[in-house]
């Protein structure tokens, strides 16, 4: 459930008319609902009540400091994959003891930063990374608590590009190498083995592959304990799917939590979760304005002021986002079939193909729903477009939590070499 609804025929975020935000901030822009973020974090927390559980919000899904601060207040930890995300989480007030560091390519500098901050755990993805971590730890007189991310060879996920737990994916340590790597880890200086980690993909609506992967990992945990490793935690990653359209029916957090309770029962493990999309996805929309309508022989193009640089999911994964006009169309309004496209000079700059919508005119505004996860974080300045701003609504008020840069700011890091600068 989210807080984007029509009130008196106008789409609101909580108690704020989205047209008011569009007037003040301009479009395109992202708008997040703090009540929805809080609600989603609460739904996950209460689903796991009674289980020893750390909910580490996946910062990659939405890393805005305003969003992270909202979730920090709700007691969330963070799953980070870079030094930058680590610093964002810390700046937002998430305690280091609730931060886990994932990702296949951590640099020595990032390892040092995280160790010095005192993070909860490193999720190690290769033998090379493990050895580097040991070197960095001993060089700095520190210790790294680690889990090894294993690849359970289970296929899952909404799209091949977001499946991560299958043999051949770059993620995790191959299943057959895992136990030997734990033996090596136990003997490396500066390394303290604390857990096992798995993450099989994203936008997973079906609990069957998740259960299969988690059961495999519990089996591994038992064998590791028998071999003398002190496994206290199990990190089950993120990946729970969300409804992007009315017909989507992903497993609810309650069923997910019940399945995890069953699989981990009697193990005495701390369960770590890294939910991203399920918390932030339906807590955000992207607003855009219709610029033109262009009639081609077989297609009716609706050209809008947002591009694939602002929301890349449709271009990258063929992802569906519902489109809602900011003004609700009455019963008698014509409907039309559009290809909704942006201004970028790429054929993939297309948000929807053959989408039936209420007839729209230039100047009217629309909202792309379910854009709170993997939206603004994946935006770019392609075609020299300014990074899209972000707004956080709280009840009847809103704050700009990232403003639109002006042109001078956009080029501030660039310079023309002296030899090209004409001399007087």
- Closer of 137 and 373 to ligand LLP (Cβ): 373
**345 is annotated as an active-site residue:** yes
- Closer of 200 and 391 to ligand LLP (Cβ): 200
CB 237 within 8 A of CB 125: no
- Give the span between the Cα atoms of 363 and 28, in whole angstroms: 13
- Closer of 107 and 161 to ligand LLP (Cβ): 161
To ligand LLP, the closest distance from the beta carbon of 202 in angstroms equals: 3
- 88 known ligand binder: no
- Closer of 194 and 278 to ligand LLP (Cβ): 278
Q: CA 171 → CA 150, 174, 225, distances in Å?
A: 8, 9, 24
- Give the span between the Cα atoms of 195 and 229, in whole angstroms: 9
To ligand LLP, the closest distance from the beta carbon of 149 in angstroms equals: 7
- Give the span between the Cα atoms of 400 and 21, in whole angstroms: 9
To ligand LLP, the closest distance from the beta carbon of 122 in angstroms equals: 12
- Rounded to the nearest 10 degrees, how much is the dihedral formed by the CA atoms of 100, 106, 112, 114? -20
- 277 known ligand binder: yes
- 239 known ligand binder: yes
To ligand LLP, the closest distance from the beta carbon of 178 in angstroms equals: 16
- 314 known ligand binder: no
Rounded to the nearest 5°, which phi and psi values hold at 43?
Answer: -65, -45
- Closer of 30 and 374 to ligand LLP (Cβ): 374
- Give the span between the Cα atoms of 277 and 253, in whole angstroms: 12
Among 243, 242, 235, 127, which Cα is nearest to 191's?
127
- 313 known ligand binder: yes
Q: How many CA atoms lie within 13 A of 269 on its CB side?
A: 28
- Give the span between the Cα atoms of 159 and 157, in whole angstroms: 6
List, in sequence order, every residue forming a beta bridge with 191; answer none if it has no partner. 144
Among 210, 369, 291, which Cα is nearest to 218's?
210
Structure tokens at 111: 């390892």
Residues in contact with ligand LLP by the rule CB under 6 A = 58, 60-61, 79, 102, 162, 199, 202-203, 237-240, 274-278, 313, 317, 373-374
- 209 known ligand binder: no
To ligand LLP, the closest distance from the beta carbon of 160 in angstroms equals: 12
Choosing from 13, 29, 53, 345, which is the catalytic residue?
Answer: 345
Mark the binding-site residues, compressed into ranges. Answer: 239, 274-277, 313, 317, 346, 374
Mark the binding-site residues for substrate, compressed into ranges. Answer: 277, 313, 317, 346, 374
Active site (catalytic) residues: 345
């Amino acid at each position: 459930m989210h807080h984007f609804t029509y009130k008196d025929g106008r789409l609101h975020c909580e108690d704020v008319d989205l047209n008011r935000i569009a007037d003040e901030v301009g479009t395109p822009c992202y708008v997040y609902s703090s009540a929805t973020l809080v609600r989603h974090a609460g739904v996950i927390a209460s689903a796991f009540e009674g289980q020893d559980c750390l909910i580490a919000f996946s910062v990659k899904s939405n890393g805005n400091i305003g969003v992270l601060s909202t979730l920090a207040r709700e007691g969330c930890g963070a799953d980070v994959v870079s030094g930058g995300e680590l610093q964002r989480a810390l700046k937002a007030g998430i305690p280091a003891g609730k931060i886990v560091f994932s990702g296949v390519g951590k640099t020595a500098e990032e390892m040092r930063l995280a160790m010095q901050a005192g993070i909860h755990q490193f999720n190690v993805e290769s033998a090379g990374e493990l050895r580097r971590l040991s070197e960095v730890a001993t060089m700095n007189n520190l210790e790294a608590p680690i889990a090894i991310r294993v690849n359970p060879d289970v296929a899952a996920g909404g799209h091949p590009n977001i499946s991560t737990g299958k043999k051949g994916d770059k993620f995790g340590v191959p299943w057959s190498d895992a136990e030997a790597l734990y033996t090596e880890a136990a003997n490396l200086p500066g390394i303290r083995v604390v857990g096992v980690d798995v993450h099989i993909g994203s936008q997973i609506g079906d609990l069957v592959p998740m259960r299969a992967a988690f059961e495999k990992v519990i089996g591994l945990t038992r064998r590791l304990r028998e071999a003398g490793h002190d496994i206290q935690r199990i990190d089950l990653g993120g990946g729970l799917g969300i409804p992007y359209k009315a017909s989507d029916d992903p497993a609810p957090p309650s069923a997910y939590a019940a399945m995890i309770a069953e699989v981990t029962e009697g193990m005495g493990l701390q369960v770590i979760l890294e939910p991203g999309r399920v918390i932030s996805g339906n807590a955000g929309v992207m607003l855009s304005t219709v610029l033109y309508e262009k009639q081609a022989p077989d297609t009716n193009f609706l050209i809008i002021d947002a591009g694939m640089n602002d929301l890349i999911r449709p271009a990258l994964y063929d992802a569906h986002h519902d489109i809602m006009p900011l003004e609700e169309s009455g019963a008698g309004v014509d409907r039309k079939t559009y290809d909704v496209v942006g201004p970028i000079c790429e054929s993939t700059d297309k948000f929807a193909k053959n989408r039936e919508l209420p007839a729209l005119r230039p100047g009217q505004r629309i909202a792309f729903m379910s854009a709170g996860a993997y939206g603004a974080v994946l935006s770019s300045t392609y075609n020299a477009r300014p990074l899209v701003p972000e707004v956080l609504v709280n009840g009847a008020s809103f704050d700009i939590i990232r403003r639109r840069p002006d042109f001078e700011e956009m080029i501030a890091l660039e310079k023309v070499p002296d030899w090209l600068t004409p001399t007087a």
